[in-house]
Amino acid sequence: MHEMFMNYIQRLNYINKIRPFIGKQIIKVLTGQRRVGKSYLMYQLMDIVKEEQPSANIIYINLEQEAFIHIKTHLDLLDYLKDKLLENNLNYLFIDEVQEIDSFQLALRSLFADDKCDIFCTGSNAKMLSGELATYLSGRYIEFNIHSLSYTEFLFFHKLNNSQENLKKYLTYGGMPYLVNIGLNENLPFEYLKNVYATILLKDVVARENIRNISFLENLVFYLADNVGNLFSAANISKFLKSQRVDISPQLTIIYLKALSNSYFVHKVVRSEIGGLKIFEIGEKYYFEDLGLRNTIAGFNQRIEIQKLLENAIYLHLVNSEYKVYVGKIGNNEIDFVAEKNGTKIYIQSAVQLTDESTIKREFGNLLKINDNYPKYIVTLNDFYMGTNYEGIKQINLSEFLLSKL
């Protein structure tokens, strides 16, 4: 039996995408890092179902709750549902953290084939989609990737206006939704974020991926946090390993990086040749799903860290806007972000300030080398403008960019 869940703030951008699929014969899968608000979106969807169909039979299973600890395999799940699915009734099944059930995909396939219920589930591991679901449920599910709060949502959740001070709060504390219950004062947010980080690392990375060298994993995460926006290659992995005085192969490091990516904790961005089809296999960048978690790991010194946070914030806005993101390469020059969606592109360079001639020449010059008419932006933290457009390139302040609908 489902009671109405009223104690949440709606995230309408996601609800509006998922809502049209309610009642459709397709499994709805909400993926994303732990604690980004997937469960609360499920509550909102349950309330929509209850409102529109008061007689609907709603079954909710949260694999993190003690009440469901006995559901360990797909057979346990099917057994649990035997007397819960009602004949001649609209059944809705919501499963939180479905990857906790061994061979869950077999149960979902069986339930889907019987057409006894409309299925919604959440998951905190990308392997779930690339492996289990893709193999057994190809064409029978639709994925909705959920992210931590965008800057627009951050202001809405915390009842703040857009200002330089509140932008700094977003860059400092990030967008984990639960912070609305804790507040943004002093170190309280970081105490909460430390616990989230520990949970992600232990439950979603170490346990799920059978990681043995936990101290090296923690050092690797610190290295990633300290090198946001820098190219990551075999050469600097080797240097890093030497600096750690650890006997771990670069290949194992790559496996650990993959494990961190699978938990949606960090995002790998590969390099792509502008104007060509070549994707470079060497040298990629990593960005964090949440700025606050990144700062929990590496600290926040605005003077030193601001370029890293500026780039990470731009990346998050692009993926929130459903762009596929690459690092661009044109000759020997680099474009920070090439973002593609629905056959169109945008190009973005980031610069904390455009105050000296050499920075202006470099940032605008790289974009001017691109011979197409797609939009080109330079995103900065200062308000120094060379007119609104310079040879078709628009300079835009970070807060304006983060509030824009791309």
Where residue 18 sits, what CATH number does that domain have? 3.40.50.300
**Domain closes at, from 110, 128, 145:** 145
Please indicate, yes or no, if residue 4 is contained in any of the structural domains: no
Asked if residue 389 and residue 262 are part of one domain, the reply reads yes
Asked if residue 284 and residue 313 are part of one domain, the reply reads yes
Mean pLDDT, range 346-375, rounded to an integer:
85
Mean pLDDT, range 299-308, rounded to an integer:
82
Indicate if the pLDDT at residue 259 is higher than 90: yes
Determine what percent of the chain is predicted with pLDDT higher than 90: 72
Indicate if the pLDDT at residue 301 is higher than 60: yes
Asked if residue 323 and residue 227 are part of one domain, the reply reads yes
Mean pLDDT, range 52-72, rounded to an integer:
95
Asked if residue 71 and residue 220 are part of one domain, the reply reads no
Asked if residue 138 and residue 197 are part of one domain, the reply reads no
Looking from the CA of 197 toward its CB, the CA atoms found within 13 Å total 22
CA distance 184 to 124: 26
Please indicate, yes or no, if residue 6 is contained in any of the structural domains: no
Asked if residue 315 and residue 213 are part of one domain, the reply reads yes
pLDDT tier at 156 (50, 70, 90 boundaries)? Answer: very high
- What is the per-residue pLDDT for 364? 84
Asked if residue 184 and residue 138 are part of one domain, the reply reads no
**Domain closes at, from 145, 177, 198:** 145
Mean pLDDT, range 60-77, rounded to an integer:
96
Name the least confident of 190-204, 260-274, 294-308: 294-308
Asked if residue 69 and residue 44 are part of one domain, the reply reads yes
Indicate if the pLDDT at residue 388 is higher than 70: no
- Across-strand partners of 286? 268
- What is the per-residue pLDDT for 383? 61
Please indicate, yes or no, if residue 224 is contained in any of the structural domains: yes
The DSSP H or E segment spanning 238 is helix 234-244
Amino acid identity of 67? A
Higher pLDDT, 391 or 107: 107
pLDDT tier at 278 (50, 70, 90 boundaries)? Answer: low
Name the least confident of 200-204, 220-224, 288-292, 349-353: 349-353
- What is the per-residue pLDDT for 277? 62
Please provide residue 212's backbone torsions phi and psi, each rounded to the nearest 5 degrees.
-100, -40
On the 0-12 / 13-18 / 19+ scale of CB atoms within 10 A, 396 is middle
Please indicate, yes or no, if residue 101 is contained in any of the structural domains: yes
Tokens of 352: 């904390």
Contacts of 265 (CB under 8 A, 6+ apart): 33, 200, 201, 204, 205, 288, 289, 293
Please indicate, yes or no, if residue 2 is contained in any of the structural domains: no
Indicate if the pLDDT at residue 5 is higher than 70: no
- What is the per-residue pLDDT for 387? 47
Mean pLDDT, range 270-298, rounded to an integer:
87
Indicate if the pLDDT at residue 42 is higher than 90: yes
Amino acid identity of 237? I
Please indicate, yes or no, if residue 171 is contained in any of the structural domains: yes
Which residue, 80, 33, 32, 30, is CA-closest to 60? 80
Asked if residue 259 and residue 134 are part of one domain, the reply reads no
Asked if residue 379 and residue 293 are part of one domain, the reply reads yes
Amino acid identity of 218? E
- Quote the mean pLDDT of the chain: 90
- Across-strand partners of 266? 288
Please indicate, yes or no, if residue 309 is contained in any of the structural domains: yes
- The DSSP 8-state label assigned to residue 21 in this structure reads G
**Domain closes at, from 96, 123, 145:** 145
pLDDT tier at 392 (50, 70, 90 boundaries)? Answer: confident
Looking from the CA of 294 toward its CB, the CA atoms found within 13 Å total 34
- Across-strand partners of 144? 30
Mean pLDDT, range 112-125, rounded to an integer:
95
Please indicate, yes or no, if residue 5 is contained in any of the structural domains: no
Indicate if the pLDDT at residue 308 is higher than 50: yes
Quick: pLDDT tens for 127-154: 877 776 778 888 899 999 999 999 999 9
Mean pLDDT, range 216-242, rounded to an integer:
87
Contacts of 379 (CB under 8 A, 6+ apart): 310, 314, 348, 349, 350, 351, 396, 397, 398, 401
pLDDT tier at 248 (50, 70, 90 boundaries)? Answer: confident
Question: Which domain covers residue 38, as residue numbers?
Answer: 12-145
Asked if residue 377 and residue 282 are part of one domain, the reply reads yes
Domain count, the chain: 2
CA distance 92 to 11: 21
Asked if residue 74 and residue 34 are part of one domain, the reply reads yes
Mean pLDDT, range 337-342, rounded to an integer:
96
